[in-house]
């Protein structure tokens, strides 16, 4: 059972919107309708701040979404559920409206909805039905046993979202102003097709914010298992390094021709670990990376580098979906 309350868009000051929100130049990235998942925590407030900044830069609309999970003691046929449903929805709707009024600039179009159901499912379904280009969501960064038992709504959204996802963690010992307008963007690549799509978003953001773009390639360290110990992994790693250097040099040259401040580097080890460490060393304000969209047993067996980076990164991570279903015509 799902119920929703919607508010109308706020009036727009057109001249102010054009002067402050018009992109400097058309880029091959579409951030026109942003869905912000709100749970009224400090982390979701931070996610809303990022969304507001993006909306201002790219001339986007914002959809605020709060999901209520019904108490297990109720069911849809229980009369008590109807009373709880009505009052909880009204309260949440009022809080969303107050949040929009207090944290979103008046020239940004904003709408709000309250739904009842499983958070990650409602978020993904709403993004699909509303044709959103980006989901912005905060994460509390559970790790260890707590992560295994509870999982992460943000990670589930990444797995099932029909569009790209910006995951925001509350930065520690970092100034808000510097992170809202990124000055250093880390782009990890494995030179795959999904990574090419993510590079388009990373390039557009670097140009829009006049940020430095650092391209990273991680050469995985291989370990011998069974009969495969006959392989000389040093040769394999050397080949990967040589190929990576060649592609990085070509990529950097292309980026420089676009008048971007670009650097490139290679690291060795577990990709997720090296990406998060590189972000710390560079003091990156944003990581932009792709996801291969593994689900089911493939994800259980192989894991997800992207999800691990999201869990441990010291800055927000933009996960660019390799096969978005919410495509917009140019």
Q: Which fold has domain 173-330?
A: Rossmann fold (3.40.50)
Q: How far apart are CA 146 and CA 240, in angstroms?
A: 37
End-to-end CA distance of the chain: 36
Backbone angles phi, psi at 172, to 5 degrees: -100, 130
Superfamily of domain 1-170 in CATH is: HUPs (3.40.50.620)
Task: Rank 90-104, 128-142, 237-251 by mean pLDDT and report only the highest.
Answer: 90-104
pLDDT at 239: 80
Mean pLDDT across 3-29: 43
Q: Do 145 and 59 meet the contact criterion of CB atoms below 8 Å apart?
A: no
CA distance 187 to 275: 9
Task: Give me 138's structure tokens.
Answer: 């905060």
Distance CA(314)–CA(316), nearest Å, equals 7
Q: Give 98: exposed, middle or buried? Use CB within 10 Å, 0-12, 13-18, 19+.
A: exposed
Residue 80 banded pLDDT, cuts 50, 70, 90: low
Q: Cα separation of 318 and 180, whole Å?
A: 13
The domains of the chain are located at 1-170, 173-330
Residue pLDDT, tens place only, 175-223 = 444 457 899 999 999 888 889 999 999 999 999 999 999 999 998 876 5
Predicted TM-score of the model (pTM): 0.81
Indicate whether 244 pLDDT > 60: yes
pLDDT tens digits, one per residue of 42-78: 889 999 999 999 999 999 999 999 999 876 555 556 6
């Amino acid at each position: 059972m799902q119920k929703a309350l919607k508010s109308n868009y706020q009036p727009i000051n057109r001249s102010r919107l054009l002067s402050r929100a018009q992109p400097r130049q058309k880029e091959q990235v579409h951030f026109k309708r942003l869905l912000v998942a709100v749970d009224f925590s400090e982390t979701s407030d931070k996610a809303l701040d990022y969304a507001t900044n993006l909306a201002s830069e790219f001339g986007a609309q914002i959809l605020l979404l709060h999901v209520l999970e019904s108490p297990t003691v109720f069911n849809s046929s229980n009369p008590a559920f109807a009373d709880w449903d009505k009052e909880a929805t009204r309260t949440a709707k009022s809080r969303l409206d107050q949040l929009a009024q207090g944290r979103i600039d008046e020239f940004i179009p904003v709408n709000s909805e309250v739904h009842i159901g499983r958070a990650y499912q409602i978020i993904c379904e709403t993004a699909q039905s509303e044709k959103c280009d980006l989901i912005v969501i905060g994460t509390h960064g559970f790790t260890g046993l707590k992560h295994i038992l509870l999982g992460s709504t943000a990670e589930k959204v990444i797995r099932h979202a029909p569009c790209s996802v910006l995951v925001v963690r509350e930065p520690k010992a970092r100034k808000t102003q510097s992170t809202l307008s990124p000055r250093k963007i880390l782009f990890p690549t494995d030179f795959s097709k999904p990574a090419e799509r993510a590079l388009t978003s990373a390039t557009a953001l670097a140009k829009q914010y006049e940020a430095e773009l650092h391209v990273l390639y991680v050469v995985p360290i291989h370990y011998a298992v069974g009969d495969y110990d006959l392989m000389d992994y040093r040769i394999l790693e050397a080949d990967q390094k040589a190929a990576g250097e060649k592609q990085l040099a070509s990529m950097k040259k292309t980026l420089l021709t676009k008048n971007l401040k670009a650097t490139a580097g290679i690291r060795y080890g577990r990709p997720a670990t090296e990406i998060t460490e590189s972000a710390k060393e560079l003091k990156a304000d944003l990581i932009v990376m792709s996801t291969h969209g593994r689900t089911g047993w493939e994800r259980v067996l192989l894991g997800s580098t992207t999800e691990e980076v999201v869990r441990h990164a010291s800055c927000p991570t933009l996960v660019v979906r390799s096969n978005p279903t919410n495509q917009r015509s140019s």
